[in-house]
Amino acid sequence: MNELLSELLFTDCPCGGSGKCGKCRVRVSGELSAPTDAERRLLGDLLDDGWRLACQTRALGEFKVIEPFEAHNAVEPVGKGRGELLIDIGTTTLEVRMISGSGEVLESSALNPQRRFGADVISRIGAASEHSSELTGELRAALASLIGDFEYERAVVTGNTVMLHFLAGLDVSGMAADPFTPSSLFGEWFDGALLGLRGRVYLPRCVSAFVGADTTCALLASKPVHGENMLLVDLGTNGELAFCHDDEIICASTAAGPALEGADISSGMRAGAGAIDSVRYDPDRCELNVHVIGTGSAKGICGSGLISAVAALLDAGILDGSGYLEAPYELAPGVFLTPGDIRSLQLAKSAIRTGIELICKDVRPERLCIAGNFGRGLDLGACRRIGLLPDCGKVEILGNAALTGAGMILDGADERFETRSLSLAEDERFSELFCENMLF
C-alpha cells in the first residue's frame, strides 16, 4: 500500500493537495510516510500528537483514524420513484431534484467528490492532465449514488462549463490558458449512457469557458423583463455575472476564489452545525454578538458569517477601511479571523465588485438577482457595508436558480437567447478598479 490518506478517506483538499491550507488535517496512527516539509510547517508540535495532513501523508500499511472526521463522500439517495430528473453540478455541491409523476418533488445533495483535487475549477483543470478519468468517474459515481433507484426517461443537467466537460468526459485542457477554448458549449441532448446516466439527458447551452449552463439556467429563472436593467450575480468560487440592459444580455465571470465558501479561511467551514453565520456589533454595549448554527459551540465560520463578521469589525472600529487587522481576532473560543483571512475576503469581494462595475458600466441596476444557495444566508446590509454588492432598487434571492431554470427547460422553455461575453481582464480599467475595490 502506498496511497495518500486523502484518497483513502475522501477528505476535502481545498488547496488541491499542495499542503498549503491545512484543511485536511486528521489524527492517525500506524504505518505512515514521514512528515513532509509542508506538514512540519503547518502542524509543528501537533505532529507529535498524531496529527497529519491527509494530502501529504501516505499509508504504507495498516493505519487507524484516532480523531473522528467527517466523511465527505457520503451521499443519501433520494429513493425509489419514477418521473423526471434535474441535476446541478456545482464546483462544491451536487444537487439533485426529482419530480415524480404525481408532482411530488424529492431533493438530495452531496459534496462534489472532486474537491480532493482542489476547491476551484482552475485547480481541477490542472489536475485533469493526470487524473482526468478519476475526475469524471468520481463525479458520475456520486451522481448515481444520489439518484439511487429513481427511474427517469428525461433529465436536464446544468453546471458550469468545466463541470459539464468532466461529466461528458471531454478534454478540458483548452480552458487552461488564453484563449480559453472549451471542447463544447453543449446545448444538446445526449444518450444518458454516455454520461453515466440513463434515458435522454440535456446539457444546456454554455456562454463561454467560464460562464456556464448554470448561468444560462439562472437567467431563465430570473425572468428578464423587456427594457429592465437587471443584474444577475452568482456568488461562488467562480463568480458569474449577467447584466440585461437595452435588451442586450452581457455575461462575464470573475475568479473570486474559495474564500466565500470558507475554503481559504483559517477557521473556515461549510454552513452547518457549529458554523458562525452571523456577527453583529452592539454599539450600546460595545461588543460583538455571534450567532452559531445549531445548539453547540462554534467550530468555525462559514462564508456568510465571514462577510457579517468583517462588517461588524468595521462597525466596531477594530478593522479599518484598508483591511488592516493588527492581530488575529477571536470571534469565539478557538475561532479566529486572521489578517490573511481579511485579505482573502478582500480579493474575493474586489473581484466580484469590479466585475459588476465593468459589466454594468455607469448604469444602476433596477433589479439585483442573487443566484445560488449561498445567497440564502446572506446579510445584504453586510454585503453592502464591505462593498461586495451595490445598492440596487430591488433585490431578489433566487436560491438554486440553476435548478429552477433547468426545470423550465424540461418544460419546454428556450434558453437560446442572445448573449455577449465580456472579458473583464482585457478592460483597461480592470486593474485600477480592482485596487480601489480592495478597500472596505
Closest CA to 306 of 343, 274, 268, 339: 268
Q: Which domains does the chain have, with CATH numbers?
A: 3-65 (3.10.20.30), 81-203 (3.30.420.480), 222-440 (no CATH)
Q: Residue-wise pLDDT tens for the chain (440 aa)?
A: 788 887 777 676 666 677 776 777 888 899 899 999 888 887 877 788 888 888 899 999 888 888 654 444 445 555 577 899 999 999 888 999 999 888 888 888 888 889 888 878 989 999 999 999 999 999 999 999 899 889 999 999 999 999 999 999 999 999 999 889 999 999 999 999 999 999 999 999 999 999 999 999 999 999 988 888 999 999 877 789 999 998 889 999 988 777 787 767 888 888 888 999 999 999 999 999 999 999 889 999 999 999 999 999 999 999 999 999 989 999 999 999 999 999 999 999 999 999 999 999 889 999 999 998 777 888 999 999 999 999 887 999 998 999 999 999 999 998 888 888 888 888 889 999 999 999 99
DSSP sequence for 268-327: B--SSTTEEEEEEEETTTTEEEEEESSSS---EE-HHHHHHHHHHHHHHTSS-TT---SS
What integer pLDDT is reported at residue 72 of this predicted model?
A: 43
> In this structure, are residues 14 and 23 in contact, taking their beta carbons and an 8 Å threshold?
yes
39 in helix, strand or coil?
helix
What integer pLDDT is reported at residue 79 of this predicted model?
A: 58
125 sits in which H/E element: helix 121-147
C-alpha separations of 315 from 280, 288, 306 in Å: 9, 10, 14
What integer pLDDT is reported at residue 119 of this predicted model?
A: 78
Three cell numbers, residue 75? 451521499
- The CA angle 24-168-235, to the nearest 5 degrees, is 55
Q: How many CB atoms lie within 10 A of CB 310?
A: 26
